[in-house]
Amino acid sequence: MGNAWGPAAPRAPRRGENLGNPGSFDELHRQCKEVFPQQMEGVKLIVNKALSSHFQVTHTVHMSTLGPSNYHFNATFVGDRQLGPTEAFPTLVGDMDNSGSLNAQILHLLAERIRTKAVFQTHQAKFVTWQFDGEYRGDDCTATLTLGNPDLLGGSERHPPPGVGWGDGLPPAAGGGRSHPDTGRQIHGFQLGGDAQCRLWWCPCELLPQSQRAGLLDSNWSVGAVLEKKLPPLPVTLALGAFLNHWKNRFHCGFSVIVG
């Protein structure tokens, strides 16, 4: 009996197509984080104002029932050299709250393939975090070198104040052992997580047409929902959110108003 299948077809040669650069390390995690709705609590007012094509300021007032209320002032400067829709150099971002604590980032393009970033964080008048990143982008790869919290003075204070953790400005999985606030476990500086989440969408209703809705369900018995609605012709966006943790018997809700 002959071979019923016939001779094997020769394998087609692999195409020599370039895979392209995967992008920065931060972008890989940012797309995952943007899938889930942001939890909100209390009342928040956000006012955005563009002073020019390069400079923008943001005022944020948050009145909370779980913690102290606060005010944040954010200023962003974007340079003229734009390599993509979300990449412009140099970029300077600063955020300061009512207690004087500062978070600042500086992004600069040294060469066509070399990007640098510096992150500084202070708690009132004390420096608690500083980090320097160097990134090289090849044709199909990205290499990043991070120097976090270098002890340049030799005798500086190494313990952050309460509420501020090492690596708050570091990228995910490179924050010096920083774990997820709810589910992370720290073992010798490595981060382990046992959390599973999913996002749910449902169709618009007649009560609030053309509004965005998102739901959250995770393995910690937490459920939540967020509704966002633009209020034309005003440049105002209203967001409502509610979250319930059955395991901890904790419920919190809030709304925010975004102007600009």
Query: Tens of pLDDT along 40-54?
Result: 899 999 999 999 999
Tokens of 256: 């925010």
Residue 115: pLDDT over 70: yes
Is omega for the bond preceding 171 within 30 degrees of 0, making it cis?
A: no
Residue 174: pLDDT over 60: no
User: Rounded mean pLDDT of 135-145?
Assistant: 92
Residue 167: pLDDT over 50: no
Cα dihedral sign, 214-86-44-120:
positive
Position 235 confidence tier, pLDDT thresholds 50, 70, 90: very high
**Percent of residues, the chain, with pLDDT higher than 90:** 43
User: Rounded mean pLDDT of 10-24?
Assistant: 69
Amino acid 38: pLDDT: 81
Amino acid 69: pLDDT: 94
User: Rounded mean pLDDT of 76-95?
Assistant: 91
Nearest to 47 by CA among 74, 65, 69, 68: 74
Measure Cα distances from 109 to 94, 106, 137 in Å: 19, 10, 12
pTM of the model: 0.69
Cα dihedral sign, 39-245-241-207:
positive
**One-letter amino acid of 138:** G
Cα separation, 157 vs 165, in Å, equals 14
Amino acid 212: pLDDT: 81
User: Are the C-beta atoms of residues 87 and 81 closer than 8 Å to each other?
Assistant: no
Residue 8 per-residue DSSP state? P
Backbone φ and ψ for 39, nearest 5 degrees, come out as -70, 145
Amino acid 39: pLDDT: 82
